[in-house]
Amino acid sequence: MVYGWHLDRTFNQYLSEIPNEKEHTAEAREDVMKKIPLFEAEWKKYEKKILQGMCDILGLEFYKSLIDVYVVGAYKAAFSDPLVMSSKYLPDMFVDVLTHEILHILLTDNTKKVEVRKIWAEMFPEAIDMTSINHILVHAVHKEIYLKTLNMPERLERDQTRCEKWKSYHDAWNIVEKRGHINIINEFKKYYLGK
């Protein structure tokens, strides 16, 4: 994990030009730098378990041996390519969001082997937008990580509650709950494992 100083400057400039974001507050570089060791320490507690868990659940492997994580103070969310994380999370939430983003990376790494967009279109015809479709499998695997790998159902509840404010994420969770996370995982694996 490193401070993404260049990304931070870019986010800060970009957000200052958006009318609704002019009042955004960016954490100072020094504050971000103090948080990074806390994030690293919290991630280290779960890293091996989570990474092995997601590979075991999906039967997939990472193609990259190293994933750079850029932490920024001017952005309040996260995304996976490149992997950018906000410094505004508490350490335990940082782990959950980082897990979510790394699940995206694992699936993206395997697009050479698995045509995920084609599979998802067939699997999730009820999803109404691409953001929902992109998150159904991520949520299903993340649920299994929360429940079985980590044995922390309270984190699952927190994640689902947090996602209620974003329609596409909430819709994806609803599909996971309706169809069953294990059913979704197993159906997805049939496309490339033949099981």
Percent with pLDDT over 90 in the chain = 70
For the CA atoms of the chain, what is the radius of gyration?
17
| Residue 27: predicted pLDDT | 86
| Residue 21: predicted pLDDT | 62
Q: Is 194 helix (H, G, I), strand (E, B) or coil?
A: coil
Domains in the chain: boundaries = 1-89, 114-195
Tell me: the pLDDT tens digits for 145-181? 999 999 999 999 999 999 999 999 999 999 999 999 9
Statement: the pTM of the whole predicted model exceeds 0.75? yes
| Residue 25: predicted pLDDT | 77
- Sites in the chain below the pLDDT cut of 70: 21-24, 195
Phi-psi region of 79 (alpha: psi -120 to 50; beta: other; left: phi over 0): beta
Helix (H) or strand (E) holding 86: strand 83-86
| Residue 22: predicted pLDDT | 57
| Residue 20: predicted pLDDT | 72
Can you list the alpha helix ranges (DSSP code H) found in the chain?
5-16, 29-58, 91-109, 116-123, 130-144, 153-162, 167-179, 181-193
| Residue 10: predicted pLDDT | 87
CA distance 48 to 141: 16
User: At 55, which amino acid appears?
Assistant: C
- The answer to whether residues 159 and 96 touch, using CB atoms and an 8 Å cutoff, is yes
Query: What is the DSSP code (8-state) at residue 79?
Result: E
